């Protein structure tokens, strides 16, 4: 296999970038920006916590792995046979990190000097796994403590309980880190199986933006990366009903004010997750954004406060419109949100407001390309969504008012919504 280069120009933000299919199988996305002093690099795989049942074209049967193994694998890769990757990075001065989400795992660093040395560390430790029973046993204890710590984190608890309310079977309802019980089932053999499946270079992308020379990246890839066999990966998810599993979950923690998250469960568009997410984000901003009458009225009345926020979460088999924050009366927040949805569905959306929001979203999109982190992240995200690296602006530009109205009629249905609440611990008054 030969390395194939393609130079592209995105005129809307005046950026040139390279899309390269390396001879190893890896997709490389490079956006050199000589006007910046730093570089941001991401090395990611399309593998997250929801990928728990899978097979490749080379396998006879499906493999089922314990919940939390993707996150566990992320932790273990930093611990090499010779030294920890963070120790290596300490010599270059790079700021390194990694994360596991529901649908991806990424390793990253930012640097203002010694870029090539830092990139070599990244490519080396991600492509050289080292697992033994002793190191796995040790990591089970470390991550077990991390899981227990998050059990007392109100923001994480209220979010995870919302997913448990909304979904019956889809693995998005499971904590990304798994449970103490599930990670106890992880073995070196299972780690190697998942690694060899999802860390195949054909399933990965290297995204770099900032002040660097593209040739230096290619030379390192030529030097360090071996050709991977391109095997098809098949993921299986259980059938998920359209209705919600529970309407409400409540948990007590040692906090001063209740936390809440309200979610509307939607049917994802498998063919265009990016477009669906943008449509929903626009709808939420139009109806519930800080400049709306809804926000001002309920803020002034003390029903919501400055912590009130929204999010659209979309991925393989899931799509959720989320409202969250702190409130003395979360149930009241839920009621006013449902009432506002009903009102707008009766009276209709405002086309003039839509045009304002579309311009606002387009402006935000352009602004995000003014940072090396923003561009590197956008290139990687778009690639995993099987889109061109700057498609988000074109998609935003192409959304119509009629399209948005049709989507609003189909979504934000109260029967497909749930509320998760974390409330202050109730204490009984003592007697004299």
Q: Which active-site residues does the annotation give?
A: 74
Q: What are the distances in angstroms from CA 313 to CA 106, 197, 385, 431?
A: 18, 26, 14, 48
Phi then psi dihedrals of residue 187, to 5 deg = -125, 165
Pick from 419, 404, 263, 402: nearest CA to 331: 419
Q: How far apart are CA 399 and CA 409, in angstroms?
A: 16
Angle formed at CA 227 by CA 226 and CA 233, multiple of 5 degrees: 120
Residue 429: phi and psi, rounded to 5, are: -70, 135
- Residue in the block written with tokens 């796995």: 136
| Rounded-to-integer distance, Cα 92 and Cα 121, Å | 10
Q: In what order do the strands lie in the sheet with 15-21?
A: 4-10, 15-21, 27-32, 204-210, 39-45, 105-111, 95-100
Tokens read off for 263: 């979610």
State the Rg of the chain over Cα.
23
Please measure the distance between the N-terminal and C-terminal CA atoms of the chain and give it in whole angstroms: 83
Decide if 283 contacts 408 (C-beta within 8 A): yes
* Dihedral sign for Cα atoms in the order 152, 158, 159, 164: positive
Judge residue 332's burial from the number of C-beta atoms within 10 Å of its C-beta, 0-12 exposed, 13-18 middle, 19 or more buried: middle
Closest by Cα among 287, 48, 54, 364 to 176: 48
* Residue 400, both tokens: 């119509």
Lookup result for tokens 């929903």: 280
The two three-digit tokens of residue 65, written as one number? 């792995």
- State how far the alpha carbon of 321 is from the alpha carbons of 99, 266, 308, 310, 413, in Å: 23, 8, 14, 8, 11
- H helices within 256-399, ranges in order? 273-288, 293-300, 330-347, 351-368, 372-384, 391-398
């Amino acid at each position: 296999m030969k390395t194939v280069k393609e130079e592209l120009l995105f005129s809307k933000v005046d950026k040139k970038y390279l899309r390269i299919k390396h001879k190893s199988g890896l997709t490389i996305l490079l956006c050199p920006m000589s006007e910046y002093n730093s570089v941001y690099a991401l090395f990611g795989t399309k593998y997250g916590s929801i990928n728990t049942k899978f097979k490749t074209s080379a396998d006879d049967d499906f493999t089922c792995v314990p919940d939390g193994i993707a996150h566990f694998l992320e932790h273990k890769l930093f611990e090499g046979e010779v030294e920890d990757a963070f120790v290596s990075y300490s010599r270059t001065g790079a700021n390194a990190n990694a994360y596991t989400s529901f649908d991806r795992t990424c390793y990253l660093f930012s640097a203002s000097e010694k870029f090539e040395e830092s990139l070599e560390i990244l490519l080396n430790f991600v492509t050289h796994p080292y697992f033994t029973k002793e190191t796995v046993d040790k990591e089970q204890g470390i991550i077990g403590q991390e899981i227990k710590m998050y059990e007392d984190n109100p923001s994480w608890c209220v979010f995870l309980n919302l997913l448990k309310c909304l979904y019956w079977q889809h693995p998005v309802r499971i904590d990304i880190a798994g449970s103490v019980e599930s990670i106890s089932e992880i073995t070196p053999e299972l780690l190697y199986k998942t690694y060899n499946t999802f860390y195949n270079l054909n399933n990965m992308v290297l995204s770099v933006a900032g002040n660097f020379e593209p040739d230096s990246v290619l030379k390192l890839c030529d030097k360090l990366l071996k050709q991977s066999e391109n095997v098809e990966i098949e993921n299986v998810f259980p059938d998920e009903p359209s209705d919600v599993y529970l309407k409400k979950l409540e948990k007590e923690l040692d906090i001063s004010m209740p936390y809440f998250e309200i979610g509307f469960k939607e049917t994802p568009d498998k063919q265009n997750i990016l477009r669906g997410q943008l449509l929903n984000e626009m709808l939420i901003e139009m109806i519930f954004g800080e400049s709306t009458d809804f926000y001002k009225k309920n803020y002034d009345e003390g029903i919501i406060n400055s912590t009130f926020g929204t999010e659209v979460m979309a991925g393989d088999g899931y799509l959720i419109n989320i409202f969250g924050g702190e409130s003395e009366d979360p149930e009241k927040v839920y009621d006013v949100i449902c009432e506002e949805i009903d009102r707008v569905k009766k009276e209709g959306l405002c086309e003039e407001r839509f045009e304002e929001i579309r311009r606002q979203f387009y402006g935000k999109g352009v602004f995000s390309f003014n940072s090396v982190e923003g561009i590197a992240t956008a290139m990687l995200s778009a690639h995993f969504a099987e889109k061109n690296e700057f498609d988000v602006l074109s998609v935003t530009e192409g959304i119509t008012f009629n399209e948005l109205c049709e989507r609003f009629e189909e979504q934000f249905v109260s029967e497909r919504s749930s509320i998760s609440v974390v409330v202050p611990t109730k204490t009984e008054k003592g007697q004299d």
